[in-house]
Amino acid sequence: MARRGMMKLGMSMRGLGYHPAAWRHPDVPADGTLRFEHYAHNAQMAERGLFDMIFFADGIGLRERDEPRGSLARSGYELVEMEPMTLLPALSVLTKHIGLVTTASTTYNEPYHVARKFATLDLISGGRAGWNIVTSWSEAEAKNFNREQHLEYDTRYERAAEFVEVVKGLWDCWEPSSLVYDKAGGLFYDESRMHLLNHRGKHFQVRGPLNVAGMPQGRPVMVQAGASEPGREIAAATADVVYAAADSIKAAKTYYDDVKGRMAKYGRDWDDLKIMPGVRTIVAATRAEAQAKFDRLQELTDPLVGLARVYAALGDLSGFDIDGPVPEPQREAEVRSSTDRIMQRAREGNLTIRQLYTQIVGGGFYLIGTASDVVDGLQEWYEAEACDGFNILPPYLPGCCDDFVEFITPELQRRGLFRTAYEGKTLRENLGLKPHVNRHEAARAAASAAAE
Ligand SMILES: Cc1cc2nc3c(=O)[nH]c(=O)nc-3n(C[C@H](O)[C@H](O)[C@H](O)COP(=O)(O)O)c2cc1C
């Protein structure tokens, strides 16, 4: 039976796209990540395609390593880009409906800063702000924030959980009716409806209140990305959206049921959370044309950049003939299971080094073909309830964003899988989420109901 309701879509528009050779594509502006027009075009195009949100993944340092030597200078991937929290308010002025979501790390920020900035973005954009909650995992970022090593896993997640609680608490400090602006009576705010947070925890001491209030969404939408036990628990407890890594439909369905199944114990309904796996799409008028677009990108991959993708698993292969067989790993594996998996793939397929890295560079969940082919893939996942929608990871920009809106959006609409107009004013409304209820207002309502 066809699933009812509409799928949700995000356009993940970081950088020049998600293929490492994107910057070399003839239609891609190599300097785009430092030009506002590049972001403006993609955001406006995604809005024309009625996307729920644009989405920025982010890092606070140059996370790629120069291994093998010389590869970094040729990669053009996540090297230089605009800071998204500064970028989004500008994009909000050029758009009217689309949600504006960016990543902010719980590892290298203070909750007060994050609460304040996203609250402000919500005000500027008329209720379209979203925060992607992550824990930073790289040594490169640690070194930009007074540390040599990144925080140990459990500590990172413990800090993240407390961080999120503080931010939520800060967003609730002012009840919606607290600001009375009574000029005649001389009263700016109602003292009984403003609340200090007085948080004293292991990682944070925050008194509050936040010095921003009145967010159109009550509070910004919260997105979570992280697949482990603690990641799933945070998602089930608090997230409105999960950006999930996609592998197979079966794994996605298991993940979906697992995370949604954890929500009831937090008093949340199945639909209070939208799970959106990432998918790369390449579409054209014919299947052959779409495949040619993909092959073209693959061919643009510089050998050193390709070798960088297998470095962690196999070590430095730059001294070998890339059109020869894959040699034994040149280093002790960092993650043994991934080394074993890659070696097995190379042996089974009798692959050359070039063939191996090309497969890896072009790996991940791709849908390539006509609009009908791509929508078949999206529909299959959606109807199997393996997701509530998708975070689109365009292999190169602006081309894959433009193509999505030209070819795929109309096909989704034709099949009744996607909206033909924005339903609401805010991101929360468009995602079909319940309105946020301020905790103090809820407590007041409960107390007065009990008194009656
Ligand atoms: C789909 C997905 C997207 C992520 N995006 C980011 C990101 O943009 N920036 C970042 O610093 N970390 C990002 N992360 C890292 C997570 O915050 C987390 O540190 C990492 O996934 C390890 O936690 P886990 O074991 O729970 O997955 C992402 C993780 C996933 C699975």
The pLDDT of residue 182: 98
pLDDT tens per residue, range 398-428: 999 999 999 999 999 999 999 999 999 999 9
Backbone angles phi and psi of 140, in degrees to 5: -60, -40
Answer yes or no: is the C-beta of 242 below 6 A from any ligand 1 atom.
no
Please give the Cα distance from 127 to 117 (Å, whole number): 13
The pLDDT of residue 201: 98
pLDDT tens per residue, range 328-370: 998 877 778 889 999 999 999 999 999 999 999 999 999 999 9
Residue 56 parent element (H or E): strand 53-56
Per-residue confidence band for 114, with pLDDT thresholds at 50, 70 and 90:
very high
Domains and CATH numbers, the chain: 8-285+370-451 (3.20.20.30), 289-361 (no CATH)
pLDDT tens per residue, range 145-175: 999 998 899 999 999 999 999 999 999 999 9
Query: DSSP code of 173?
Result: S
Please give the Cα distance from 395 to 383 (Å, whole number): 25
The pLDDT of residue 89: 98
Q: What is the DSSP string of 315-329?
A: ---TTS-TTSB--S-
Asked whether residue 120 carries a pLDDT value surpassing 60, the answer given is yes
The pLDDT of residue 1: 56
Per-residue confidence band for 134, with pLDDT thresholds at 50, 70 and 90:
very high
Answer yes or no: is the C-beta of 136 below 6 A from any ligand 1 atom.
yes
Length of the chain: 452
Answer yes or no: is the C-beta of 445 below 6 A from any ligand 1 atom.
no
Which residue, 83, 220, 64, 50, is CA-closest to 140? Answer: 64
Which residue, 111, 452, 57, 450, is CA-closest to 276? Answer: 57
Answer yes or no: is the C-beta of 231 below 6 A from any ligand 1 atom.
yes
Separation of CA 146 and ligand 1 centre (Å): 21
pLDDT tens per residue, range 236-287: 999 999 999 888 999 999 999 999 999 999 999 999 999 999 999 999 999 9
**Atom of ligand 1 lying closest to residue 60 CA:** 11
Answer yes or no: is the C-beta of 446 below 6 A from any ligand 1 atom.
no
- For residue 448, what are the contacts with CB-CB under 8 A and spacing of at least 6? none
Separation of CA 277 and ligand 1 centre (Å): 13
Residues 241 and 223: beta-carbon distance below 8 Å: yes
The pLDDT of residue 239: 97
**Atom of ligand 1 lying closest to residue 231 CA:** 26
The pLDDT of residue 247: 84
The alpha helices in 64-189, defined as continuous H runs, are 72-75, 84-94, 111-125, 139-142, 153-171
pTM of the model: 0.96
Answer yes or no: is the C-beta of 227 below 6 A from any ligand 1 atom.
yes
Separation of CA 152 and ligand 1 centre (Å): 15
